[in-house]
Amino acid sequence: MSVQHYHYQACDAGGNLLNGHLSAESEREAVAQLQARQLTPLKLKLSNEQTQALSDGRVKHADLVDFTNGLCTLVEARVPLDKALSLLEGITEKEHMKRLVVSLRRQVKEGKSLADAMELHPEVFSRLYLNLVRAGETGGILDQLLPDLAEFLETAEATRRHILSSLTYPIVLLVTGALSVLLLLVFVIPQFTAIFANVGSTIPPSAQFLLDVSAALKHYGWLIVPLGFAVSWYWRWWRKDPEHRLAFDSALLKLPLLGNILLQREVATFSRTLGALLGANIPLIRALRVARDVVGNSLLVKQLRQVEEDVRGGAGLGVSLARTRQFPLLLHQLVTVGEESGRTAPILRKLAQTFDNYVKDDMQRLVNALQPALILILGVVVGAILIIMLSAVFSMNTLDF
């Protein structure tokens, strides 16, 4: 096991307060070292350097998926938990993940449960993750729940990658077109200024407008970057207000096609999370609270709070979802069927797959519509700029060819 560095505050036999540093493999061993020196430990914590080392490097979703798959394989093979973490430490290549595994193993060796050890890293392990691991440890079925958790993370990652890959080409197309227009305005349009100045004729209003825009970009274009930062800061500040965020999220769900995609994406995430928690025999109210935290749209979060209150009051989950008039009909109808048949968890997991497929299909339709639309718009803009400037040149009666 890797050696940890601790800062301690202790009291000696004479009642004197002492501060210092020591190295040990665990907190328990550090306490034993102090007691062996006839010191009574008062405070013991990782040194600043060690704390910084544990926080360096952001754990990506793909890293968490790899860690979960590795742990799942070892636990299914009936390898003891501390030994499994030791093996994971040996095969982990990324330094920040190795430090995370070392920290988990140290806490487990000191007698903590795996869920309690993971709870010390809230930036890595979500409430869903912690609840499933804790349920598995409590019920002695960790080897059964970890495969479900690994599948959950892999499905979420696959859906995210599919959405990003679908949007890559339209974004590249949009950026390329915007840069083309910018280059035209900054480098090409100014060349016409000299032509018009030499001829001395009246410039058409449309051409004069483009010349003014070009001149403004050349003289004040540097303001775009600080303006972008200012807009970004204002946007984050504006979104912090709950009412503003609620209004914006409500408007998002009303957008044609895109609003439906966003709703189905949120419903798929909610259904998968709630299904996984209920499948681990976690009580419905607690599961609803955790599943609500994974939903990003504040309007849906508000509706789910009401659903939780209705369920707490004795109403069925399907009926409570239907009362909101916000969630898809398919969701609350099948949830009602699941409640009647006692198969709510499997039905929720199936619903998550269904809504994921809906998201993929709708995203493909959106991308198929965006690509020709962007090409057409950019073609019209670039063509309009060229036509305006060339028409202005050819319309000069005094132009000497």
Q: Which residues of 357-384 are buried (b: 16+ CB within 10 A; e: fewer)?
A: ebbbebbeebeeebeeebeeebeeeeee
Rounded to an integer, the average pLDDT of 183-202 is 78
pLDDT confidence of 52, banded at 50, 70, 90? very low
In this predicted structure, what is the pLDDT of residue 142? 84
The CATH number, out of the four listed (3.30.70.1020, 1.10.150.120, 1.20.120.330, 1.20.81.30), of the domain defined by the range 165-401: 1.20.81.30
Contact 291, 277 (CB under 8 A): yes
Rounded to an integer, the average pLDDT of 301-311 is 93
Q: Which two tokens stand for residue 244?
A: 């503003």
pLDDT at position 2 over 70:
no
Q: What integer best gives the mean pLDDT of the chain?
A: 84
Parse the chain into domains and list their residue ranges.
Answer: 4-54, 58-125, 165-401
pLDDT at position 46 over 70:
no
**What span, in angstroms and rounded, lies between the C-alpha atoms of 272 and 128?**
11
Q: How many angstroms separate the first and last alpha carbons of the chain?
A: 85
pLDDT at position 196 over 80:
no
Q: pLDDT tens digits, residue range 86-133?
A: 888 888 888 888 888 888 888 888 888 888 888 888 888 887 788 888
**What span, in angstroms and rounded, lies between the C-alpha atoms of 399 and 306?**
73
In this predicted structure, what is the pLDDT of residue 309? 93
In this predicted structure, what is the pLDDT of residue 282? 86
Is 230 strand, coil or helix?
Answer: helix
Q: pLDDT tens digits, residue range 279-302?
A: 888 889 988 988 888 888 999 999
Contact 162, 363 (CB under 8 A): yes
> For residue 261, what are the CA distances in angstroms to 170, 292, 304, 361, 373?
17, 19, 19, 9, 19
Rounded to an integer, the average pLDDT of 290-315 is 90
In this predicted structure, what is the pLDDT of residue 89? 84
Rounded to an integer, the average pLDDT of 331-342 is 92
Q: What is the fold, at CATH topology level, of the domain defined by 4-54?
A: Ubiquitin-like (UB roll) (3.10.20)
Could you give phi then psi for residue 19, rounded to 5 degrees? -125, 145
pLDDT at position 347 over 60:
yes
Q: Which two tokens stand for residue 27?
A: 């907190």
pLDDT confidence of 250, banded at 50, 70, 90? very high
Half-sphere exposure of 372 (CA within 13 A, CB side): 3
Q: Which two tokens stand for residue 67?
A: 């860690």
Q: What percent of the chain has pLDDT over 90?
A: 21
> For residue 127, what are the CA distances in angstroms to 133, 236, 287?
10, 25, 10
> For residue 213, what are the CA distances in angstroms to 21, 128, 180, 218, 306?
65, 52, 15, 9, 52
Q: For residue 175, what are the contacts with CB-CB under 8 A and spacing of at least 6?
A: none
Contact 311, 288 (CB under 8 A): yes
